[in-house]
A and B are shown apart, each in its own frame.
Chain A
Amino acid sequence: MSTPQSRIRNFSIIAHIDHGKSTLADRILDITGAVTEREQKAQFLDKMDIERERGITIKAQNVRLKYQAKDGEIYQLNLIDTPGHVDFNYEVSRSLSACEGAVLVVDSTQGVEAQTLANVYLAIDTGLEVIPVLNKVDLPSSDVDKTKEQIEQAIGLDCSTAISCSGKTGVGVPDILQQIVEKIPAPHGNPDGPLRALIFDSWYDSYRGAMVMVRVFDGTIKRGDKIRFMATKTDYEVIELGSFQPFPVALDEIGPGEVGFVAANVKSVHDTNVGDTVTHTLESRRATQALPGYKEVKPTVFAGIFPTDSSDYPALRDALEKLHMNDAAFSFEPDSSEALGFGYRCGFLGLLHMEIIQERLEREFNLDLITTAPSVVYHVWTTAQEMVIVDNPAKLPPPQLVDRIEEPFVKMSIHVPAEYVGAVIALCQDKRGLQTGMQYASTDRVIISYELPFGEVLFDFHDKLKSVSRGYASMDYEFSGYKAGNLAKVDMLVNGDPLDALSIIVHKDRAYARGRALAEKLKEFVPQQQYEVAIQAAIGGKIIARETVRALRKDVTAKCYGGDISRKRKLLEKQKEGKKRMKQVGNVEIPQQAFLAILKVDA
C-alpha cells in the first residue's frame, strides 16, 4: 500500500561543499530512527570512499524516512540527495524536479556561496518551497543575523522563520523536520492517470543490472508491470521495487508522490537516462506526454588516458568498461598517440568528474596512467564550410583547411568578498572574459558575472581564482554557447617529431607565451641523451619557441671491483627503472612526467 499523497513530503538539501549537508542528513536519519547507532558511520549518505575523502557527494543517494509530526500523523519524508558540484548540474536539476521543497543549508560562519546560489535559483525556478537553515551555530564564529541578512539580500528569501541548527550537536534539527511537513506542499499527482515517473538517478548493480531511482508523479508502478522509458523508447518488466530506508526495503508498488528504486533487467545505465520518464508499455495505459526537462547529457571535457605500461592496455579497457557501466555521463573510445601508444579518449562532465574517474581508475583498478591535458570540444569550420567536432587538439585539421574555430563559452558567476573584486575582475579579463554583470549580494559580498571561454576555465581558472581571493571566492557556471575565436594549435616537437599528446589549442595572443613556457617546462623533464635534443613549439610549420637539452657526453663508471658491485648494480637497476618509464619519441626518450608538464605551465 502506498502512502496517501497528503502525508508525503519530498525534499532536497541544498548546500555548498563543506556547509554541512552530509552531517545534517546524518542527523536527520538519526532523529527519525532510520539508522541505528552502530550503523552511524559518519556521513552515512556519502557512499563511496572518494566522496568521503573529498567531502563531495557524487552519486545522489536517497532515503525514505518515517516522521511523526506535531499533528500526530506519521509522514513519509523522502530525502533526495543532490550532488554538490557544478559538473553535475543537470543531475541536480533532475533531483530537484523530484521534490516539492528544499532545505537550504547555509554555514552561518561562512555565508552564502556562489554554488549555493546557483542551486537555490534552480530550486526556486523549479517551483520548490525553500526552507532556510543556518547551520553550524555551535561554532563561535557563527553569525546568524548577518547570514540571514545575506540570504534575504542575495536570494530574497524571507528568513524570519529560518531555523538555526547544528548538524553536529543536533540542535534545531527537529524544527527542520517539522517545517518540512508544514511548509513543503504535498505532492498532487493524478493517482488514476497514466503512469509518469521521473528517473533522477541510476546505477549499475551486478545482480540486478541497471537500476533507476524514480519519483512517481501520476499513477502507480507495480511489481510485474510492463514499463517503457519514454526517451529511449525501450520496454522492460519490473522485477523489483523498493526504497532505501536507508537500507533497501522491497515494495509491491510505488504510488503517486512516492520515491523508490526500480529493477527491471535493464542491461546498462546508458539506457537509464536521468530525466527520462517511465510509463506503462501498454498503449491504453501509456502517458502521451513525458515529464518536462529531459536532456541528453554530453561530456564537455575530454582527455586522453594512456597506460604508463603499454601492457596494461587491456586492463585499462576493462576498468573503463566497469566504470562506464555505472556512470552514464562518462564516455570513452580508443585513441592512439605517437608518443603514448594506445589508450582512450575519455569524455567527462567537467574537471572534477575527470579527476574522480582518474582517481578511481588508479585506486580501484590499480592502474598507472598518463592523462593528457583536458580539452574542451571545439567546433571547427573547414574552408568547405563543414563543421567538424574536435575534442582532441591532435585531431585538428591542418591550418590551411580551417576557416574558423568556435570555442564553447560559459556564463560564470563568481561570489566574492568585496575586497577581492578587483583581483577577480583582473583574472577574468586575463582569461578573455566579458563582464556581463555585477551585483551586491550584501554590503560586502559581490556577485560578478562573466562570459568566459570554457577552455580558459579548464586551464587553471579555479586555482587562480582561489589564489587571488585567498580562497574566499566561489564559482559556478553554465554553458552559454559557441563563439568563433582567434585560436591556434600549438604543437610541441622533439627533434622535429611531434609530441601529439602535448598539442594544445590556445588563443593566438597566448600562443607564444604558452609555447615558450611549455618548451621551458619540457626541458626540465627531458633528460640529457647522447645527442642534443631540440624542444620546439610550433604553430603550423612555424617555430615559435626553442629550447635545447645538451647532449650527454658520457655515462660510464670508472671503477668497478669486488666491493662496488652491489652498489653499482643497484644504480644501474635504478637507471633501468627510469628507462622503463620513458616513452620513445623518434630518437628521444621522454619520461612520463613530461606529459604532465603541460598541466603545470604557468603562462
Chain B
Amino acid sequence: MASLYVHFPWCLAKCPYCDFVSYAVSGDGRETIDHAGYADAVLRELTVRSGDAEFGRARIATIFFGGGTPSLWSAVELGRVLAGIRAAFDVDADAEITVECNPTSLDKEHALRLRDVGVNRLSVGVQALDDKELAYLGRLHDEKGALAVLSSVVDIPGLRVSGDLIFGLPDQTAETAQSHARRLADIGLSHMSCYELTIEPGTRFGELAKRGRLPRADDARVIESFLAIDELLTSRGLRHYEISNYARPGQEARHNLGYWRGEPYVGVGTAAYGFLRAPNDDAQGAHGFRYRNEPLPAKYMQHTPLSATGAEAEPLDAETMLRERIMLGLRMADGMNVTAAEKDLGVTFMTKERTKDLAWLLEKGRVVRVDEGGDVLLSIPKESWLFANDTAARLF
C-alpha cells in the first residue's frame, strides 16, 4: 500500500505558527497563481515518479492535497492532476482523496466541484471558533464564516468532512477549548484534528519566542484542554485514535494512518516529501529514501521534470526506519505491530538495550504489550500520551 501527496504552496496569508512551505499571494490573489502552469509541472513530475521502479509498482490507496491552501487551486486544474495521477499510477477505486481547505477559500459550490472531479474528503482548517483567537492565529476567517462554510459542506453526499482545531493558546481556558470541539461535533463532523499550538523555529511565533516576546500558555492548562477535548469528543462517539486525531469508527484519515504505519508515499509538488522503499539489493545498504522537492515554486515549475526536483534525498537504513515506526506507531491508540515491523524491515526490535528499556516502560505502565496471534503489539495507553516523545526516545 502506498499513498500520494500533492503539495500546493500558496496561501492567502501566512499564519504565524505555520512551518509548512507556503507563500502568501498578494491581494485576493487567486488570479496571481499560475493554476494551469503548476498543474502542468506536477503532471510532469508524476510522469517521472511513476517511472521510478519502486513507485511505479505502488498501489495508491490514498491521495492528499495539502499545502499551503489547495482549496485555492481551481477545481479544474486539481481535477486534471487527479486524472494524471490515475493515469500514472494504479489508484484504488475506493481511494481516499482529501483536499485541505481554508474557510476563506471554500464554499458549497467549490466543494461540489471538487467532489465532481473525484475528491471525497475535505479537511477544513477551522483552528478556533472565537474571533479573538482567530485573529491571534492570523486566520482570515471569523467564527461566523467558519460555521457557515462547515454547515454548507458537511452534508454533501460523497464528501467526508474533517475540521482542525488548535488549542493551548495563551489565556485560553480548557472550557473554551472544549466548547470549540463541542460546536464542531454539533455540526456533525465525523473527523477532527485537535493540535496543541506548537511554536516552530522559523515561524513568526518562533521568532517572537526566541526574543522572549511570545506569551505562552501554562503547561497545566494546555493539559487540561487536551483532556477536556478528549472527554468531550469521546463522549460524542469520536474515538481518540491518534494523539491529535479523533474519528467516528471507520472515518479515520487513512492517508495519515499510512504515514504512521511507515508505508511509502509519493510526494509531488513544490517542497513535497516522498518516502520510498529501496529495492532489496540496494548496494549502500539503505532500506529506504526520503526525498524533498525544490521548495521554491518558480524553480520547481521551471525545472520539473529535471532531476533537480528531488533536491535532497536522505538514505534510511533499516534501524532508522524501525525508529521511525516506533516514533509514529506509538502515536496511535492501536500502537505498532512490532513483529510485522521486524519482518518487513529485517531487523530485531528486542535488542538487549530495548528489552531493558521496554521492561521499565511496561513496569511504569507507560507502554502496554499485547500478544496477538503470534504478533507483539505495543501501544501507549492514553493516560501516558503526554509523554509519548520520552517513551519513543527510550525505545530508539
Cβ-neighbour of A557 out of B265, B320, B388 (below 8 A): B388
Residue pair A556, B388 in contact (C-beta under 8 Å): yes
Question: Residues of A contacting B300 with CB < 8 Å?
Answer: none
Residue pair A565, B396 in contact (C-beta under 8 Å): no
How near does chain A come to B323, taking the closest CB pair, in angstroms? Answer: 6
User: Can you pick out 28 interface pairs between chain A and chain B where the beta carbons lie within 8 Å of each other?
Assistant: A530-B387, A530-B390, A553-B219, A554-B387, A555-B386, A555-B389, A557-B388, A558-B196, A558-B243, A562-B259, A562-B265, A562-B273, A562-B274, A563-B20, A563-B273, A563-B292, A566-B314, A568-B327, A569-B323, A569-B324, A572-B327, A572-B389, A572-B393, A575-B389, A575-B393, A575-B396, A576-B393, A576-B396
Asked if A573 meets B396 with Cβ closer than 8 Å, knowing A556-B388, A565-B275, the reply is yes
One digit per residue, 1 when the CB lies within 8 angstroms of any chain A CB and 0 when it does not, for chain B 191-205 equals 000011110000000
Whether, in the assembled complex, A579 has its beta carbon less than 8 Å from a beta carbon of chain B, the answer is yes
How near does chain B come to A303, taking the closest CB pair, in angstroms? Answer: 30
Give the most central of A562, A572, A579: most B CB within 10 Å: A562
Question: Closest chain A residue to B260 by CB distance?
Answer: A560
Question: Closest chain B residue to A575 by CB distance?
Answer: B393
Whether, in the assembled complex, B328 has its beta carbon less than 8 Å from a beta carbon of chain A, the answer is yes
Distance between Cα atoms of A565 and B392 in the complex (Å): 13
Question: Residues of B contacting A70 with CB < 8 Å?
Answer: none
Whether, in the assembled complex, B223 has its beta carbon less than 8 Å from a beta carbon of chain A, the answer is yes
Distance between Cα atoms of A485 and B324 in the complex (Å): 59
Whether, in the assembled complex, B5 has its beta carbon less than 8 Å from a beta carbon of chain A, the answer is yes
Is the contact region of chain A dominated by helix, strand, or loop, or is it mixed?
loop
Whether, in the assembled complex, B394 has its beta carbon less than 8 Å from a beta carbon of chain A, the answer is yes
Chain B residues numbered 263-309 whose CB sits less than 8 Å from any CB in chain A = 265, 267, 271-275, 290, 292
One digit per residue, 1 when the CB lies within 8 angstroms of any chain A CB and 0 when it does not, for chain B 175-193 equals 0000000000000000000
Distance between Cα atoms of A348 and B393 in the complex (Å): 40
How near does chain A come to B258, taking the closest CB pair, in angstroms? Answer: 9
Asked if A554 meets B324 with Cβ closer than 8 Å, knowing A562-B273, A565-B290, the reply is no
Chain A residues numbered 544-590 whose CB sits less than 8 Å from any CB in chain B = 553-563, 565-566, 568-569, 572-573, 575-576, 579
Distance between Cα atoms of A113 and B273 in the complex (Å): 67
* Chain A: interface size category: 20 to 34
Distance between Cα atoms of A555 and B244 in the complex (Å): 14
Distance between Cα atoms of A568 and B393 in the complex (Å): 11
Extra 12 A-B pairs, beta carbons < 8 Å, given A554-B219, A559-B198, A575-B389: A555-B390, A556-B243, A556-B386, A557-B243, A563-B267, A563-B272, A563-B273, A569-B324, A572-B323, A572-B393, A573-B393, A573-B396
Q: Which 10 A-B pairs have the closest CB atoms?
A: A575-B393, A554-B386, A576-B396, A553-B219, A558-B196, A563-B273, A558-B195, A555-B389, A572-B393, A576-B393
Question: Residues of B contacting A579 with CB < 8 Å?
Answer: 393-394
How near does chain B come to A590, taking the closest CB pair, in angstroms? Answer: 16
Asked if A569 meets B327 with Cβ closer than 8 Å, knowing A558-B195, A575-B393, the reply is yes
Chain B residues numbered 340-396 whose CB sits less than 8 Å from any CB in chain A = 385-390, 392-394, 396
Chain A residues numbered 452-495 whose CB sits less than 8 Å from any CB in chain B = none
Distance between Cα atoms of A563 and B291 in the complex (Å): 9
Distance between Cα atoms of A568 and B260 in the complex (Å): 13
Cβ-neighbour of B275 out of A558, A562, A575 (below 8 A): A562
Residue pair A565, B328 in contact (C-beta under 8 Å): yes
Distance between Cα atoms of A559 and B198 in the complex (Å): 9
Residue pair B331, A560 in contact (C-beta under 8 Å): yes
Question: Residues of B contacting A556 with CB < 8 Å?
Answer: 196, 243, 385-389
Question: Closest chain B residue to A578 by CB distance?
Answer: B393
How near does chain A come to B231, taking the closest CB pair, in angstroms? Answer: 17
How near does chain A come to B394, taking the closest CB pair, in angstroms? Answer: 7
How near does chain A come to B2, taking the closest CB pair, in angstroms? Answer: 12
Question: Closest chain B residue to A529 by CB distance?
Answer: B390
Question: Closest chain A residue to B272 by CB distance?
Answer: A563
Chain B residues numbered 205-219 whose CB sits less than 8 Å from any CB in chain A = 219
Asked if A560 meets B327 with Cβ closer than 8 Å, knowing A572-B396, A579-B394, the reply is yes
Q: Which residues of A contact B (CB under 8 A)?
A: 530, 553-563, 565-566, 568-569, 572-573, 575-576, 579
Distance between Cα atoms of A572 and B290 in the complex (Å): 18
Residue pair A575, B244 in contact (C-beta under 8 Å): no
Whether, in the assembled complex, B152 has its beta carbon less than 8 Å from a beta carbon of chain A, the answer is no
Question: Residues of A contacting B5 with CB < 8 Å?
Answer: 562
Cβ-neighbour of A572 out of B244, B267, B271, B392 (below 8 A): B392
Question: Closest chain A residue to B387 by CB distance?
Answer: A555
Give the most central of B5, B219, B256, B327: most A CB within 10 Å: B327
Whether, in the assembled complex, B222 has its beta carbon less than 8 Å from a beta carbon of chain A, the answer is yes
Question: Residues of A contacting B222 with CB < 8 Å?
Answer: 554
Residue pair A560, B223 in contact (C-beta under 8 Å): no
Question: Closest chain B residue to A556 by CB distance?
Answer: B388
Question: Residues of B contacting A566 with CB < 8 Å?
Answer: 273, 290, 314
Question: Residues of A contacting B274 with CB < 8 Å?
Answer: 562
How near does chain A come to B370, taking the closest CB pair, in angstroms? Answer: 22
Question: Residues of A contacting B385 with CB < 8 Å?
Answer: 556
Question: Closest chain A residue to B265 by CB distance?
Answer: A562
Distance between Cα atoms of A554 and B243 in the complex (Å): 12
Whether, in the assembled complex, B220 has its beta carbon less than 8 Å from a beta carbon of chain A, the answer is yes
How near does chain B come to A553, taking the closest CB pair, in angstroms? Answer: 4
Residue pair B396, A553 in contact (C-beta under 8 Å): no
Cβ-neighbour of A565 out of B198, B259, B272 (below 8 A): B259
How near does chain B come to A601, taking the closest CB pair, in angstroms? Answer: 28
How near does chain B come to A245, taking the closest CB pair, in angstroms? Answer: 56
How near does chain B come to A564, taking the closest CB pair, in angstroms? Answer: 8
Distance between Cα atoms of A555 and B385 in the complex (Å): 9
Question: Residues of B contacting A563 with CB < 8 Å?
Answer: 20, 267, 271-273, 292
Residue pair A555, B323 in contact (C-beta under 8 Å): no
Residue pair B390, A575 in contact (C-beta under 8 Å): yes
Question: Residues of A contacting B396 with CB < 8 Å?
Answer: 572-573, 575-576
Residue pair B392, A562 in contact (C-beta under 8 Å): no
Distance between Cα atoms of A557 and B388 in the complex (Å): 8
Cβ-neighbour of B223 out of A553, A562, A565, A576 (below 8 A): A553
Cβ-neighbour of A553 out of B244, B290, B386, B394 (below 8 A): B386
Question: Residues of B contacting A559 with CB < 8 Å?
Answer: 195, 198, 244
Distance between Cα atoms of A572 and B292 in the complex (Å): 21
Question: Residues of A contacting B290 with CB < 8 Å?
Answer: 565-566
Give the most central of A556, A558, A569: most B CB within 10 Å: A556
Question: Closest chain B residue to A568 by CB distance?
Answer: B327
Distance between Cα atoms of A559 and B259 in the complex (Å): 12
Question: Residues of B contacting A558 with CB < 8 Å?
Answer: 195-198, 243-244
Asked if A555 meets B388 with Cβ closer than 8 Å, knowing A560-B327, A565-B328, the reply is yes
How near does chain A come to B217, taking the closest CB pair, in angstroms? Answer: 11
Asked if A561 meets B219 with Cβ closer than 8 Å, knowing A555-B390, A576-B396, A579-B393, the reply is no
How near does chain B come to A295, taking the closest CB pair, in angstroms? Answer: 50
Distance between Cα atoms of A563 and B314 in the complex (Å): 12
Distance between Cα atoms of A569 and B388 in the complex (Å): 13
Residue pair A576, B394 in contact (C-beta under 8 Å): yes
Distance between Cα atoms of A576 and B220 in the complex (Å): 25
Question: Closest chain B residue to A574 by CB distance?
Answer: B393
Question: Closest chain A residue to B316 by CB distance?
Answer: A566
Question: Residues of B contacting A573 with CB < 8 Å?
Answer: 323, 393, 396
Cβ-neighbour of B259 out of A555, A557, A561, A576 (below 8 A): A561
Distance between Cα atoms of A535 and B338 in the complex (Å): 39
Distance between Cα atoms of A565 and B275 in the complex (Å): 10
Question: Closest chain A residue to B393 by CB distance?
Answer: A575
Distance between Cα atoms of A579 and B390 in the complex (Å): 10
Question: Residues of A contacting B390 with CB < 8 Å?
Answer: 530, 555, 575
Question: Residues of B contacting A557 with CB < 8 Å?
Answer: 198, 243, 388-389
Residue pair B324, A565 in contact (C-beta under 8 Å): yes
Distance between Cα atoms of A568 and B256 in the complex (Å): 16
Distance between Cα atoms of A553 and B387 in the complex (Å): 8
How near does chain A come to B3, taking the closest CB pair, in angstroms? Answer: 8
Give the most central of B5, B392, B394: most A CB within 10 Å: B392
Question: Closest chain A residue to B222 by CB distance?
Answer: A554
How near does chain A come to B96, taking the closest CB pair, in angstroms? Answer: 15
Question: Closest chain B residue to A572 by CB distance?
Answer: B393
